[in-house]
Amino acid sequence: MGFHTLVEHRRTPKRRSLLKWKSAMSLMVIASFLMITACGSPGNSATSAAGTTTASQGPVEIEFWYGLGGKLGDNMKKTIDAFNASQKEVVVKGIVQADYDETGQKLQAAIASGQVPAAVLSSNVDWAKKGYYAPMDSFIAADPDFKKEDFVQTFLTQGQVDGKQYFLPMYGTTQVMYYRKDTLKANGIDPASLTTWEALAAAAAKMTKKENGKTTFYGWEPMWGSDNMIDAVLGKGGSILSPDGKTVTIDSPEWVETWEMFRKWIHEDQIMGIHSGGQGWEYWYKTIDDVMKNKAAGYTGSSGDQGDLDFKIVGAMEQPGWEGKGEGKPVANAIMAGIPAKANPEQQQAAFKWLTYFSQASNTAQWSMNTGYIAVRQSALEDPGFKAFSKKNPQIEVPLKQAAHASAPFQDPTGGKITDALKVAADQVQINNVPAAQALQEAKVKAQQELDRANSR
């Protein structure tokens, strides 16, 4: 694929001869003409996917790509509209993708063609190292309102690559548990007692309903993919790599035992169900619908689902741990945005203005209240609106409490190959009913080959 570095835009204004004028009016005309010549000429324009508007001709128009649907997408549009109305220097045009993966795929094609957005809700460490994203350090240094120390540091550092800030956290997320209050109450189950996976499985078995050997109401629905099961493994003490970073450890007893239990719950006991496939976030919203439409007792989902849920019906709780292992250690991840390096300097500056607006204390607090995602600035917790909201909506505090004992996200040294192997293994277990030991061993072989290749470079 033909990726290129940022192209320098040179100014080539033409010199024009001017007639001598004697009147005062003529001098005014000359002054006006000189101003026009200095401020704008054919050589001053810069082209990108967002258009050719420059600061001298009016506000800088930029595209911002993001893969959010449902109420999340609605909230993003509202924030973009609020930003555009708050100032006159930058106009952001939101371009919606199906999901995070599609955003990455389309960005890859845009980088290859040279027609990139100025900002994108996506991050890729490997691409940053290759120069496809622009570092933001110079913008940060010139912005007295940035205040690094006010950011949640675990989120801010996730955007750093080789000591440079390539990505800014837009919001934080961690996967929590949502349950139907009426179903647990009807079955005499106190949600506060569900602090282990063993206890949750027992409760799910009690709440499951079957007719003619087929489950008609699931006791729980994990979310499709490897993330939920990786969280559970981390709570048992498992790891993806050895401490020296040379060995893939996804075939350890912690992995095999944990994933095998999920396989058994889904396929043999049939007390847990999985929605998979579909377009974009379709599987996700089907899972939510099962709980909201009284087809399942609860599910494991994102803190960001809170904007789509009715908390008169459901409650929220932290992910469980394991008996004898203590509290859970699920991943807390920053959803980050970056600025493609091929955007011209003017658009990069405009993109930074938009991204820092999003992370202002009052705005990140509002985003958290509207969506359930974690605010990225510590000062957001002191926002009067957030304080008042959390008193009436205690579920907003669940992700924050879980983040306090959460695991850091895995930084894949192979550029995503280990993560891909785990996704395949998860499908084998969750969808195809393949024993966990077999699926993880196959994934281990592929992942180790990629790790050895990466370490030998």
- pLDDT tens digits, 327-384: 999 999 999 999 999 999 999 999 999 999 999 999 999 999 999 899 999 899 899 9
Q: Which fold has domain 174-331+410-455?
A: D-Maltodextrin-Binding Protein; domain 2 (3.40.190)
On the question of pLDDT at 415 being above 90, the answer is no
Q: Record the tokens describing residue 225, joined without a space.
A: 């993919």
Looking at residue 308, what is its pLDDT? 84
Closest CA to 373 of 174, 154, 144, 115: 174
- pLDDT tens figures, 236-267: 999 999 999 999 999 999 999 999 999 999 99
Strands (E), 375-423: none
Q: How many CA atoms lie within 13 A of 442 on its CB side?
A: 14
The H-or-E segment that residue 220 falls in is none
Looking at residue 215, what is its pLDDT? 97
Residue 289 is classified by DSSP as: H
pTM score, two decimals? 0.72
Looking at residue 3, what is its pLDDT? 30
The helix-helix angle for 70-86 and 361-371 (nearest 10°) equals 160
Looking at residue 352, what is its pLDDT? 98
Share of the chain above pLDDT 70, in %: 88
Looking at residue 35, what is its pLDDT? 37
Looking at residue 22, what is its pLDDT? 33
Q: Which fold has domain 43-173+334-403?
A: D-Maltodextrin-Binding Protein; domain 2 (3.40.190)
- pLDDT tens figures, 143-183: 999 999 999 888 999 999 999 999 999 999 999 999 999 99
On the question of pLDDT at 47 being above 80, the answer is no
Helix (H, G, I), strand (E, B) or coil at 374: strand
In DSSP notation, 330-344 reads: -BEEEEEEE-BTTS-
Looking at residue 307, what is its pLDDT? 83
Closest CA to 159 of 304, 337, 302, 330: 337
What average pLDDT is seen over the chain?
88
Within this chain, domains 43-173+334-403 and 174-331+410-455 share the same CATH topology = yes
Q: How many Cβ atoms sit within 10 Å of the Cβ of residue 89?
A: 11
Q: Which long-range contacts (CB under 8 A, 24 or more apart) does 379-388 make?
A: 379/150
Domain boundaries, the chain: 43-173+334-403, 174-331+410-455
The CA distance from 114 to 44, in Å, is: 18
Closest CA to 199 of 323, 325, 329: 323
Q: How many Cβ atoms sit within 10 Å of the Cβ of residue 275?
A: 19
Share of the chain above pLDDT 90, in %: 79
Closest CA to 370 of 64, 112, 117, 77: 77
